[in-house]
């Protein structure tokens, strides 16, 4: 209410939402014009909680993010990220002590598919929450976030099952790193 425009990683590292102490989660719900970023891997946040956030904020202010560490796309094992030792196991990264989540290995394409597969939003809305909404949140909607003349020609192609088929950067195909 005092100028915050976006909330990072809604639910993660926050006190739980309670009926007498709403905390940051309650602020994310209540401040409808503030953007709420959500990690949609099904491990950081339960899909029911993602749906609750989307119902409270509306898709126009819900930003799909990944929190993907640099080891995303690599095989399970031990890595260093941000100077910290992490262990990637079961599609999630943990601090070396195994007690705290360090980050995800989620791709944004998989996050979009998750939102649709979980019945939280349609493919159209999920894609917009991963493109148009974050661009607006970051004040770069005049440059990216939708396919229009004069904007970056960065986009992906999905098949009918929302599997990533191809990625374009600057209008040029860079293939699909996850299938090639």
Q: Where are the alpha helices (DSSP H) in 7-105?
A: 23-30, 47-57
| Whether residue 21 lies in the annotated active site | no
Tally of CA atoms within 13 A in the half-sphere of 123 that contains its CB: 10
Spatial separation of the C-alpha atoms in residues 51 and 54, rounded to whole Å: 5
| List 21, 67, 97, 124, catalytic entry | 67
Three-class SS of 14-30:
CCCCCCCCCHHHHHHHH
3-state class of 155 per DSSP? strand
Give the residue numbers marked as catalytic. Answer: 67
């Amino acid at each position: 209410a005092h100028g915050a425009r976006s909330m990072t990683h809604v639910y993660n590292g926050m006190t739980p939402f309670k009926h007498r102490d709403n905390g940051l989660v309650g602020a994310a719900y209540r401040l409808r014009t503030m953007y709420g970023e959500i990690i949609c891997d099904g491990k950081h946040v339960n899909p029911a909680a993602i749906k609750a956030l989307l119902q409270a904020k509306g898709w126009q202010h819900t930003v799909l993010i990944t929190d993907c560490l640099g080891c995303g796309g690599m095989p399970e094992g031990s890595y260093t990220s941000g100077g910290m030792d992490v262990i990637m196991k079961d599609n999630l990264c943990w601090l070396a002590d195994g007690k705290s989540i360090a980050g995800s290995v989620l791709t944004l394409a998989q996050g979009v598919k998750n939102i649709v597969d979980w019945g939280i939003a349609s493919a159209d809305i999920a894609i917009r929450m991963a493109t148009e909404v974050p661009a607006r949140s970051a004040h770069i909607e005049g440059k990216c976030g939708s396919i229009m003349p004069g904007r970056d020609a960065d986009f992906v192609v999905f098949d009918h099952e929302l599997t990533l088929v191809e990625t374009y950067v600057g209008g040029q195909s860079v293939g699909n790193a996850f299938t090639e």
